[in-house]
Copies of this chain bind each other. A is one copy, B any other.
Amino acid sequence: MAAPRAGESDRTVLLQHKILARNDGIAGRNRDWLRQRGVLMLNLMSSPGAGKTTLLERTARDLAGTLSFAVIEGDLQTALDATRIGAAGCRVVQINTGVGCHLDAAMVASALRVLDPAAGSMVIIENVGNLVCPAMFDLGEAVRVVLASVPEGADKPVKYPHMFRQADLVLLSKADLLPYVNFDTERYTSDVRAISPGARMMRLSAVTGEGMPDWYQWLRDRNPAAAGR
C-alpha cells in the first residue's frame, strides 16, 4: 500500500489555491456590488438537518410586513427547500450543486442576477448542509451565521473549528430538544467563546419560539432599509 506521492499532492494544493483565489475575486465583486446597492447578504451554514430551512420559514412568517428578505437555496439535489421558503412568502432561487459540497461565489453571482435584489433589501443564503467545505468559500456575504443544533452534540465547535471561527453569529438551534439529549451547554459555550471570541451567541427553537425575538432583533439591527431612520 503506497503512501501518497508528493507531486500529485503538490499539484492538488496548487489548484486548490487557484480555485480559492478565483473564488475570492468573484466574492469581492459580489460584495462591492451589494454594498453599492445597499443590500445586506448573509451566509447561513450548518450540518445537514440542523434546522436552517425551518428557521427561515418561521422568520419569514413572523416578520412578514416588517422585514423581508430573499433567499438563495443551496442543495445537492431537489428544490424541496426552495418550495418551503417560497410558501413562506420569500422570493427564492434554488441552486443545485450536483455532487458539489458547497456554494461558490460564481453560483451566488448568478443567483443575484436572477433575484435582482432591491436597494435596501436583505438576501439570506442557505448554504449546502455541511460543516466543512462551505467554511472555505467566501460568497461575498457581509455576515456569516453558523447554526449548530442541540442533538448534534456540544463537541461540534472543537471538531469543526474552521466553520465556527469565521462566524459573526452562532445560533444553537432545536433548544426544545435540550431535555431529551445529553448536551453540555457550558462546554459548548466556552468552546465557541474560545474559537470565535468575537461571535455573538444565541439559543433558539423555531418550534417553540424560544429565543426567536433576539434573532429577529439581530436581523432588524442589520436591515439596510432601516439604516439612518
Contacts and interface: CB of A to CB of B under 8 A. Distances in A.
A57 to B, nearest CB: 12
Contacts of A153: 49
A210 interface: no
Contact of A130 (B1, B2, B30, B130): B130
A159 B80 CA distance: 8
A111 B180 CA distance: 36
A136 B47 contact: no
B106 A76 contact: no
A109 B1 contact: yes
Contact of A156 (B22, B48, B132, B180): B48
Given A47-B47, A129-B47, A158-B78, A99 B136 contact: yes
* A100, A159, A176, A181: residue with the most chain B Cβ atoms closer than 10 Å: A159
Contacts of A131: 48, 129-130
A118 interface: no
A190 interface: no
B26 A159 contact: no
* A19, A47, A156, A174: residue with the most chain B Cβ atoms closer than 10 Å: A47
Interface in A160-184: 160-162, 174, 176-177, 180-181
Given A76-B159, A159-B76, A162-B99, A19 B29 contact: no
- Report copies per complex: 2
A219 interface: no
A152 B48 contact: yes
Contacts of A130: 101, 130-132
A12 to B, nearest CB: 6
A112 interface: yes
A15 interface: yes
A110 interface: yes
A128 to B, nearest CB: 7
* A8, A12, A129, A161: residue with the most chain B Cβ atoms closer than 10 Å: A129
Contacts of A161: 76-77
The 9 lowest CB-CB distance pairs between A and B, nearest first, are: A49-B152, A1-B109, A101-B132, A151-B151, A4-B106, A47-B48, A49-B153, A48-B131, A47-B47
